[in-house]
């Protein structure tokens, strides 16, 4: 299995230039950008780059995580696992939380970047 990495970047929603940089390369980024002014959560798969994008906003601050090194099937398993953890309540959207879910669901260590 290739190395799994999670990169993270955040921006203030009001800083359009920073948000545009943050969303560069994210599929359907204009649709996502329109939703960031309210509580928002989305995931996207980039088949050409074999990476998943995770975007969350509280209406003021937005965070984008990129996970690389997982196949589409592994990514779907993580999406389902994340939804399960989230439905239980109290799950913080962060690279650390996502890394722990990857470890629990796939028994894989992910390196954090950014």
φ/ψ of 51, rounded to 5, equals -145, 155
Q: Residue ranges of the chain with pLDDT lower than 50?
A: none
Question: How many domains are there within the chain?
Answer: 1
- pLDDT of 38 reads 95
| Beta-strand relationship, 61-68 and 51-58 | antiparallel
pTM to 2 decimal places? 0.91
Residue 37's pLDDT is 93
Which domain does 41 fall in, by range? 4-113
pLDDT tens profile 84-110: 988 988 788 999 999 999 999 999 999
The distance in angstroms from the start CA to the end CA of the chain is 22
């Amino acid at each position: 299995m290739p190395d799994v990495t999670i990169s993270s970047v955040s921006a203030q929603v009001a800083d359009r230039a920073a948000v545009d940089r943050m969303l560069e390369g994210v599929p359907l980024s204009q649709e996502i950008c329109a939703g960031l002014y309210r509580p928002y959560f989305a995931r996207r798969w980039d088949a050409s780059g074999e990476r998943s994008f995770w975007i969350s906003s509280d209406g003021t601050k937005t965070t984008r995580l990129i996970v690389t090194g997982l196949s589409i099937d592994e990514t779907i398993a993580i999406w389902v696992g994340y939804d399960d953890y989230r439905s239980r309540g109290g799950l913080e959207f962060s690279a650390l939380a996502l890394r722990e879910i990857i470890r629990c669901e796939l028994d894989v260590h992910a390196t954090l970047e950014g």
